[in-house]
Every structure is written in C-alpha cells, then in structure tokens.
C-alpha cells in the first residue's frame, strides 16, 4: 500500500492542476483496513441502501472501492455489519460513505476499510432509488466511476488513474 503522503509528494504538480484531489477531512475510519486503494465504483442514494447492497453483492468488483454519495445525511445508516461482511466476502478493497454507518463493532471485525461521516443506529429505507456509476460530488471533489482512490490515516485522494510514487 502506497501512503497518501508519498503520492502527494511524488505528484505535487497534479495537486496544483486538480488532476489529483484531496477530499476534505470529514471522514472517520472503520473496519480492520486503515489503508486501501483501488478503482472507484460510484453510487448516489439518499437514506436508501438498496443499490449499495446490490453493488456490494456483485463479485465483479474485487479490489475496487465503493464510493457512496448519501447526500451527507446523518439521519440513518447506509452500511451496516451485514453489508460490511458482504463487501469483505466479495473482495472489495474499501468503501467511502458520504453518510453514516451502523453496527460499528461488526464492521470493525471485517477485513475491509470503511470511511464514513459517522454513525447512526437507524436503518435506511428500502425503495431502490438512486443512481449507479455516475459522477458524485462531495467533500470538495467530483468523483467519477472509474477514478482511482487511495485512503489512509492521512486522508483520501482521488485521481483519474492510478499514480506512482516516482516523479
């Protein structure tokens, strides 16, 4: 795993052009993996996690990072222990949630990295409303399906492609 600090140091010109973006430091880490990276799969929902579950259940996304734009809602959780286990079982590298999680002890037992705004004990609605594989905008950045994401204790980075640590 390459540290976000090393990526920033080696790609400082991309930071100034905006090709490498740093998400605002709004997120808290959960799960056993405190660092992860991979290509992004996006989903945009609001207080409804049906599409989140559908993507996590797919075995076609091994090694990828699910980016969930939950509109920043803190009224309910979009991810819980069951979905954390499903993500682990299907080989996801990590999940970033612009919203809340629940069942934190269960998520923390999973070999998955999860970054979220916080926690809520309330479960989400189950209507299946939202959009998969589109552009999302939160934490000061536009994130596209297929972008590359790195997350560790120093922050979360987004780029249009995988970057190296050599200039």
Binding residues for Mg(2+), by number, are 103
Residues 6+ apart with CB under 8 A from 82: 103, 106
Q: Give the residues across from 109 on adjacent strands.
A: none
Contact between 69 and 42 (Cβ < 8 Å): yes
Element at 90 (helix H, strand E)? none
Token output for 82 = 């069951």
Q: Which residues are documented as binding site for substrate? A: 80-83, 102
**Both tokens of residue 127?**
């209507």
Please give the full DSSP string across 36-86, using - where no structure is assigned.
Answer: EEEEEEEEE-SSB-HHHHHHHH-GGGTT-EEEEE-TT--SSEEE-HHHHHH
Q: Which residues pair with 117 in a beta bridge?
A: none
C-alpha 153: how far from chain center: 14
- Annotated binding residues, written as ranges, equal 80-83, 102-103
């Amino acid at each position: 795993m390459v540290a976000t600090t090393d990526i920033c140091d080696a790609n400082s010109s991309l930071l100034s052009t905006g090709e490498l973006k740093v998400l605002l430091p709004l997120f808290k880490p959960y799960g056993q993996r405190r660092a992860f990276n991979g290509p992004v799969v996006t989903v945009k929902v609001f207080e409804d996690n049906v599409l989140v579950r559908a993507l996590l259940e797919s075995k076609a996304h091994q090694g990828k990072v699910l980016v969930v734009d939950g509109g920043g809602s803190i009224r309910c959780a979009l991810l819980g222990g069951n979905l954390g286990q499903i993500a682990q079982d299907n080989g996801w590298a990590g999940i970033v949630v612009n919203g809340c999680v629940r069942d934190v002890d269960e998520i923390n037992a999973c070999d998955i990295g999860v970054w979220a705004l916080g926690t809520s004990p309330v479960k989400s609605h189950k209507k299946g409303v939202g959009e998969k594989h589109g552009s999302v905008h939160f934490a000061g950045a536009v994130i596209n399906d297929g972008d590359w994401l790195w997350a560790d204790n120093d922050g979360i980075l987004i780029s249009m492609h995988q970057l190296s640590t050599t200039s």
